[in-house]
Structure 1
Amino acid sequence: MSRKSPISISSGRRLQTRRSGVHGKGVFALVDIPKGEVLIEYVGEVITWKEALRRHPHDPNDPNHTFYFHIDEDHVIDALYGGNSSRWINHSCSPNCEPDEVDGRIFIKSRRAIRAGEELNYDYGLVIDAPLTPALKAEYPCWCGSKKCRGTLLSSSQTLPPAAPAKRARRAKRRP
């Protein structure tokens, strides 16, 4: 897998990892960042999915939390090993960043202008090889607080069983 890329990341201290109001740690902008800026590379040990499944879970007390980032059908980045602060970027259903894959490498870039002090986030869009049920959604809760919050870290492209949309709509109205 190639590790060379034409992507350049601006030098200088622009990001800081600290406690997040969303979940655990988060990554925050120290300066104003324009739209389209490459902020950081998601790095770690590149392993096969077979090895990722062998290592899973990273924390038996929180089995659905990992530092894996899908590269392709055969490979994943495990940021638990050799990772940087990119592993602390939280999920949001209304993200200000997005991942960009270039030659098997993952770069996090701004989707819009980000103000100094603002927490960075992107839509994890997790895909689980199982039917999307209310119980499965509950295993991957979202705490982003966005007005567009779908209540889960799971991908919006996965669909609920036919009877579930009404339950989802009622639950969404109760969320702050």
Structure 2
Amino acid sequence: MKTIEVDDELYRYIAAHTLHIGESASDILRRMLKFSAASQPVAAAAAPVVKAEPAPAPAPAAAPVADVKTVKTAKDKVRAMRELLLSDEYAEQKKAVNRFMLVLTTLYALDNKAFAEATESLHGRTRVYFAADEQTLLKNGNQTKPKQVPDTPYWVITNTNTGRKCSMVEHIMQSMQFPAELIEKVCGTI
């Protein structure tokens, strides 16, 4: 197995085409290039490199939220979440609360009705986690540190631990019918 270096943009593009967790970069490239190991002799690998026209650049992954408003199919929703996880904006977030907010913004942009249904049933024993305004959250505790979810009409409490934030995201994603392995991956990055 040889190691090659690729720039970040190309890496994100390849990773966005992952079909399942654990799929190797070689498998992804073989599928994308419609190339099988049996179709080329080993000697061809030593052939001189021919300069080809560069492929058109993929849509930038740094702003996935703006692009996902037109997403319709479940496959596209999964791809949009993977693109978020691979985006520079997400990777640059140092705090769990900021990653949490980016995930919520993206989920809302993907399907605001399903997001609304999921958040209506999401609350704790004594706390409301999501509301349409800050005051509703403050009524259930002065220390809830409510923040507005960017680009949405929703407010969320943010003084919960990371485990609780993951639990909220997990509930919403399950309600929106995301695959279990993607839910686990998203929660693992918060």
Max Rg structure:
2
TM-score range, shorter chain: under 0.3
Bigger helix share: 2
Give the TM-score normalised by the residue count of structure 1.
0.26
